[in-house]
Structure 1
Amino acid sequence: MGKTLSVVAVLKETTIKRKRGNEAVWVIESLLNNQAIIDEADYTKSILYVRKDNYVLVRAKFYLKKSKRVKCMDVRKLAQINGIWVAMQTTMTTTPKGYKHELNLNELILEGSINPKIGRQIVVWGRSDSIRITDVLNPLDNRMPGLVGIKNLRLGRLMSKLDYYFDKLNLSMIVLHENRFSKTAAYGSDFKISADKPVNKPSNALDNTGVALSFTGIFEGYDL
């Protein structure tokens, strides 16, 4: 018999309260009891919060080995793409130091055999290097304006895209499932001295679904 690497126990059932609705979860404790695994993982204990309806890990606390600090992971945004649950936005906070990291999934594409694509995508329309005229499908991360190139500013957006090619022409049809907005610098930072006015941001309900259509062609010496 091999040695047990960890001891796992279900502590309780509880509810995580969020703005989009409550999440019923199991709270599971995992204790590592193998020193080699502890040295590699750098923590001795973890508390896991697993949703009861889809069995997805949506929150976790990792108790670090060398200090009295705790790393807290929280899935802020979860989406189901072709039946697969995907964490679209995750934050990682270390206490008591207060370090906070944000992980955003900008691109996740599931492709079919007839060239449809569904998932969080970055779609660039137009070829201008600095002016956005038709490149309007993806919002921008403007929290550090002027310091990041346009290629790294675009934020992915959940959409379904179908391309049809014939001769030198391309017809693109897109359904926009996610209403994601550009990020601006925080009030009081070096890049923003005034507060934003409150805005009404629409939800991702079916009634707010957007549609985009593009017809392009490349000819010898010309673009259409």
Structure 2
Amino acid sequence: MVDDLESGKLPWRECRWCLQIIFETILENYAEYIDYNGITTQSDYGQNLYMLLDFLRQAGFYQRTAWNLRPIFLAHEVLMQRDERPMAAAWEVAVRERTRIITQDLLAGYRMLSLKYGIHLPSLYDLFRAGFSRQLVEHDLMWLAKRALTAENPKDRRDAVNDIVRLVEKLLDEISGFHYRMADWIEALEETIHHTREKLDVFDEETEIEYLRPRMHRLTSRELLRQLESWQRH
């Protein structure tokens, strides 16, 4: 680009536009850039940045597809919130089947780039391998976390905790290497536990205040007259 700019082959305005796109892409995918910069030897040479951009092009396709599937994700979240687990599970299977070919194409594209450049980026590989049902798994985790904290039956709470442990172990086994960015499902689980505990604390405070508040008794007109007569006599 610099050579073309100096020779006049590339206009400065077009060069500025290209640089802006590159910088914005890196900033929007900074976690992947950190992985690339910290794991690969190709990152030692600035002219190899185009390799990362090719991988990020794949990531962009994934993100656009996930955005188009957002209504489907929201429907699954509503089913989980309404405790419709069997229907939500069937919905998850349908999503996985519907996006199976797209997921295979993403993985094939990643492997082709990995062989071409000799680069392995665990964060992107795990993202593509998980497909588009990972967000549905996050909904499962959030539902289980709320149930583990709020269920009245101790057995239900224990069952929810056991389900969380099994699901987390499965998700951890799917992590192929070091990631700069924390997995989305870990952040979702932590945030759900935090918010649920906050709500429980507020509920406990309101319950305590209600318990300490004096009980009010509504008097009938006859009772009121009787008390007034009693006060007058005293």
TMscore range, shorter length: under 0.3
More helix by share: 2
* Structure whose residues are more often strand by fraction: 1
Query: Greater Rg, structure 1 or structure 2?
Result: 2
Pick 1 or 2: higher relative contact order, CA cutoff 8 A, min separation 6.
2
The TM-score with structure 1 as length reference comes to: 0.23
TM-score by length of 2: 0.23
